Amino acid sequence: MADRDIDILVSGGGIAGLIAAAAFGAGGHRVLCVDPAPPVTDEGAAGADLRTTAFLQPSADLLARIGLWDRLAPFATPLQVMKIVDAGGAEPTPRLTRAFDAADISDRPFGWNLPNWLLRREIAARLAELPGVEFRPGTATVGLTVREDAALVRLASGNVNGSGGAQTVAARLVVAADGRNSPVREMLGIGARTIRYGQKALAFAVTHDRPHDNVSTEVHRSGGPFTLVPLPDREGRHASAVVWMERGPEIARLRALPRDVFQAELNARSAGVLGQLTQATGLTEWPIISQIADRFTGPRTALVAEAAHVVPPIGAQGLNMSLADIAALAELMQDDPGNAAALDRFDRARRPEALLRVMGIDALNRASMVGLRPLRDIRAAALGGLYALSPVRRTLMRAGLGTR
């Protein structure tokens, strides 16, 4: 027997889970969002997520529909141009630079960049405004039993092992937004295919001499891309977020360097595209994988975000794929959350699309990792050829946005 009946249980209080709760709450549903960990909403706090998220146009449109964009827009930095730089191997200067301007296909920027810690703060504040929505950090999903009319979800507060308070809720729909190692996915017995690259990524903020001019830049050399994403000025200096992907041993070496030596390597890796870079925050590190679940639904349950798919951080695809999941699911579940026919439509719509993007980003990541000179030359030639063909370039930009 359940202690409480609700429409939607969102398991996972990361950015995707919080947005899912806001989307269903804005649709008038009774929503409970739970996560084992409290959100860290201060850049300087221990455990703060120093990554940033670039919301592409379709994602920004979803945020506007559910009442989030007005809250986020004052903090957002537009991404007007996506620049790709092929820096070769040990060469000190770029061999090839190509820019993709959103003005070629739209009167709006490609997207807008925001820090993850700030997103958590602002989205949680939005949830507090929505009637019928509760965000309960410090609470874990520890059991799932599916009936025909609802899913019984056992929650444990306090310690994740269940030694704190316990409650069972009956939810018409469970949304698993609980990460790449999703407990809900495991409870359902849904497998996932995983590709490991032996890569990790460092995320941090930098200040720099030259203005970024709302240009996001990916520098390809070997080991993985080095990406600079525009941020608002920081203490009067131009600022960008960095995602630096390399093989695991190289990341370990970089993290062990004294700060001045690390900064010298940072500037060498950036190919000087923004002038002198200065590290402005601590480092966040995480492993790079590709992953896709064998299916995106179970009885009364839908997988979204990294519970369903994981991609390397290339082309701002990860969270934007997640928001496409949430937009589709919220529309399909508006009238009758959890019904089997709508869940089947969600799986048939989202999994093939996600699989294509996982495969495409996997290929891009492997191309970025190559170290042998002949393969780097092929990569540079392919990039130059794609850019030279205007119809192909526009098609690729629209595909990157998730539009047609």
- Alpha-carbon distance 241 to 333, whole Å? 36
pLDDT tens digits, one per residue of 284-295? 999 999 999 999
Higher-pLDDT residue of 350 and 224 is 350
CA distance 74 to 371: 41
Q: What is the mean pLDDT of the chain?
A: 87
Strands 81-86 and 96-101 turn out to be antiparallel
The Cα–Cα gap between 5 and 200 comes to: 42
Q: Does the pLDDT at position 88 exceed 80?
A: no
φ/ψ bin of 232: left (φ > 0), alpha (ψ from -120 to 50), beta (otherwise): beta
Percent of the chain with pLDDT strictly greater than 90: 66
pLDDT digit string, tens, across residues 305-332 = 999 999 998 877 889 999 999 999 999 9
Per-residue confidence (pLDDT) for residue 101, from 0 to 100:
84
In this predicted model, what pLDDT tens digit does every residue of 116-143 receive, in sequence order?
Answer: 999 999 999 999 999 999 999 999 999 9
Query: By the 8 A CB rule, do 106 and 21 touch?
Result: no
Supply the pLDDT for residue 366: 82
pLDDT of residue 78: 94
Which pLDDT belongs to residue 222?
A: 75
The pLDDT value recorded for residue 400 is 52
Average pLDDT over residues 175-204: 96
3-state secondary structure 387-403: HHCHHHHHHHHHHHHCC
d(CA 279, CA 257): 13
Q: What is the DSSP string of 256-279?
A: HS-HHHHHHHHHHHTTTBTBSEEE
| pLDDT computed for residue 372 by the predictor | 46
- Residue 390's pLDDT is 46
What does the pLDDT read at residue 44?
Answer: 73
| Segments of 42-127 assigned E as strands | 52-56, 77-79, 81-86, 96-101, 111-115
- Domains in the chain, start-ordered, CATH in brackets? 4-70+116-193+291-363 (3.50.50.60), 78-114+197-287 (3.30.9.10)
pLDDT of 163 reads 44
Q: What percent of the chain has pLDDT over 70?
A: 87
pLDDT for 158 equals: 62
**In what helix (H) or strand (E) does residue 293 lie, and over which residues does it extend?**
strand 284-293
Q: Is the per-residue pLDDT at 16 higher than 50?
A: yes
pLDDT digits (tens, 9 = 90+) for 342-394: 999 999 999 999 999 899 888 878 877 765 454 445 444 555 544 444 444 44
Q: How many degrees, rounded to 5, is the angle at CA 272 between CA 288 and CA 214?
A: 75
User: In the prediction, which pLDDT does 398 show?
Assistant: 54
pLDDT at residue number 90: 52
**27 is written with which tokens?**
């649709």
| CA gap 179, 156 in Å, rounded | 18
> Strand locations in 158-276, DSSP E?
166-176, 192-208, 215-220, 226-234, 237-247
pLDDT band for position 114 (cuts 50, 70, 90) = very high
Average pLDDT for 199-226: 91
Q: 1 pLDDT exceeds 80?
A: no
Phi-psi region of 4 (alpha: psi -120 to 50; beta: other; left: phi over 0): beta
Tally of CB atoms within 10 A around 16 = 27
Give the residue with greater pLDDT, 67 vs 382. Answer: 67
Q: Are 8 and 170 in contact (CB under 8 A)?
A: no
Query: Three-state SS for 253?
Result: helix
- From the CB of residue 348, how many other CB atoms can be counted at a distance below 10 Å? 12
Higher pLDDT, 216 or 386: 216
Read off the tokens for 67: 């009442």
* Mean pLDDT, range 294-301, rounded to an integer: 97
Stronger pLDDT, 224 or 184, i.e. the higher one: 184
Per-residue pLDDT band for 162 (boundaries 50, 70, 90) equals very low
- Looking at 73-77, 158-162, 307-311, 316-320, which range is the least confident one? 158-162
